[in-house]
Structures are given as structure tokens and as C-alpha cells.
Amino acid sequence: MTTFTDVATSPTEKEDFRKTVVAINSGQLVLMATDNLWSLCGDVKNTRLVEKIHNLKPEADFLQFEILVSSIKMLKEYVQHLHPRIETLLLYHTRPLTVIIDNVINIPSPIISNQKRVAFRLVRDEYACPLIDLLDRPLFSTFAHNEKDTVPPGFGAISSDFLRQADHVSKHLQQGRGTSEQLPVMIQLTGREELHFLRE
């Protein structure tokens, strides 16, 4: 398994990755770039953190909260049945992709919405993906901005309201090329087993 420390170009990057792993394993709320979008993340099994993340956006619907997985194999550990059409799309889609799943398992109840649906994102980036691989479990997350606000184009544009909530802030992408302002594609399967794009 390749980790970020295998491809990191400096000791500083490796140390930042190590500290982020330690923070998550210690039950801390971490601010980090996921698929080049700043998010607040925590251990999916830590119900205290899950509730804290929910409380940051009390008026938001369930689409504002995602479970981040690093592989289809990991996703299948939390889904009773992954429809072949969704699995095929995940296999061949090159951008980060969020899928809405109804038949979830092994998920703490605070995460499951009133509609009994959960948003899973298959991450693609060089930092979050190997991080989740190393943890061997998903992360629960929400973007570090409110739905009505524009996506922060970089670390310096993140609201202080979100910065204050983090126990640990990753240095990855704080400087340099910045972050993407494009949210991941989001899909769900309709009752007719057709793919419906909620966000493209």
C-alpha cells in the first residue's frame, strides 16, 4: 500500500501527514483538504465528533455531510448491496464522486438522516485517499463553509467560525496551488434504477 509519506517531497509534508493520522486516531476534529476542498473531518465511529460536526450546520440537510472512503471495497463494508450501475460509475469516473445510499450498515445512527440516506464520497486526492487507507476506516466530514456561501478558493478564505472548531489543522495545501472551487459530482439511483445527477 502506498502512503502519502512514500510520495511526499519533504520531511515537513511527511510530518504533517503523521500528525493528521495521530489527531484522527486521538478522536480530534481535523481541518484538511479533501479532493482539494477544505473539510472538517473525524473518525466515522466517533459519535461525539459526528454530533459536533452536525452541530456546526444545524439547519443543513443530510447532503452537507459525507462519509469519505478510499475504495469501492471499503464502501461495500457499509452498504448492504452496491448496485452494479453505481459500482461501474465509481470504477470509471475520474473525478471525486459522491453517491447517495439508502441501504447502509455498520454506520452510527447519528449519521443516518431522517430520510435513512447517507452520502458517501469516493475520494481521489493524493492526501486524503492514502490517509483513509492507512486508518483503514472512513472519515465523516462536512465542507468548511456553509451551503449559502461560496466555496473558499484557498485556506486563507476559510471562515474563522470553522477554523475555531478544528482541534488540528493540516498544512497540506495551505499554500501553493490552492484548492478547487468545484464540488464533487453527486448522484443517486432512482426507483427506476436510473442514475440521477444531483450535482454535476
Each residue of 146-162: pLDDT tens digit? 888 888 888 888 999 89
Q: In the chain, what percentage of residues exceed pLDDT 70? A: 88
Cβ-in-10-Å burial (0-12, 13-18, 19+) of 92 comes to: exposed
Length of the chain: 200
Instruction: Report CA-CA distances (Å) from 18 to 7, 155, 179.
Output: 13, 20, 21
pLDDT reported for residue 68: 96
- Does the structure show a pLDDT above 70 at 181? no
pLDDT reported for residue 117: 80
CA distance linking residue 108 with residue 13, whole number of Å:
32
For 87, which DSSP code?
A: H
- Does the structure show a pLDDT above 90 at 139? yes
Average pLDDT over residues 63-81: 91
- Does the structure show a pLDDT above 70 at 200? no
Q: Cα angle vertex 68, ends 194, 64, to 5°?
A: 70
Name the residue type at position 14.
K
- Does the structure show a pLDDT above 80 at 198? no
> Which pTM was predicted?
0.89
CATH value of 4-199 in 3.90.870.10, 3.90.180.10, 3.40.50.460, 3.30.450.20 = 3.90.870.10
pLDDT reported for residue 180: 58
Helices (H), ranges, 42-83: 47-56, 72-76
Average predicted confidence (pLDDT) for the chain: 84
Average pLDDT over residues 137-144: 93
Choose between 183 and 107: higher pLDDT: 107
- Does the structure show a pLDDT above 60 at 122? yes
- Does the structure show a pLDDT above 90 at 184? no
With b for 16 or more beta-carbon neighbours within 10 A and e for fewer, the 136-174 pattern comes to ebbbbbbbbbbeeeeebebbebbeeebeeebbbbbbbbb
- Does the structure show a pLDDT above 60 at 126? yes
